[in-house]
Amino acid sequence: MKKSSKLFATIAVGSALGMLFAPAKGSDTRKKIEDQAKRLKKLIKKGRCTQEQLSLLKEKIQKQKEGLEKHLEKINSMLAEYETKDT
């Protein structure tokens, strides 16, 4: 895989995750994500993203999503356990 493909995917995933975990209001974060998506769409329309880059990006985002879902499951489990102890 080309270094430029890896770099592109790393930057895109890093930007998205940074925005998600940044201490900002939800509306601000959603706006930033929307702006990033629009920029990516423009790059795609201009032919500046290859299919390989997009596939790599999709794969990395999917892995991050799965990791976040696991963390969310743990948090929900801990909350349920905490609520059970309180009653």
**pLDDT tens string 7-63:** 666 677 777 776 666 666 778 777 877 888 788 788 878 877 788 878 887 888 788
**Angle value at C-alpha 56, between 61 and 63, nearest 5 degrees:** 30
Strand, helix or coil at 81?
A: helix
Tell which residue, 58, 78, 53, has the closest CA to residue 16: 58
Q: In sequence order, which residues have a C-beta less than 8 Å from that of residue 43 and are 6 or more positions away?
A: 49
The domains of the chain are located at 3-86
Token pair, residue 14, equals: 């890093």
What's this model's pTM, rounded to 2 decimal places? 0.48
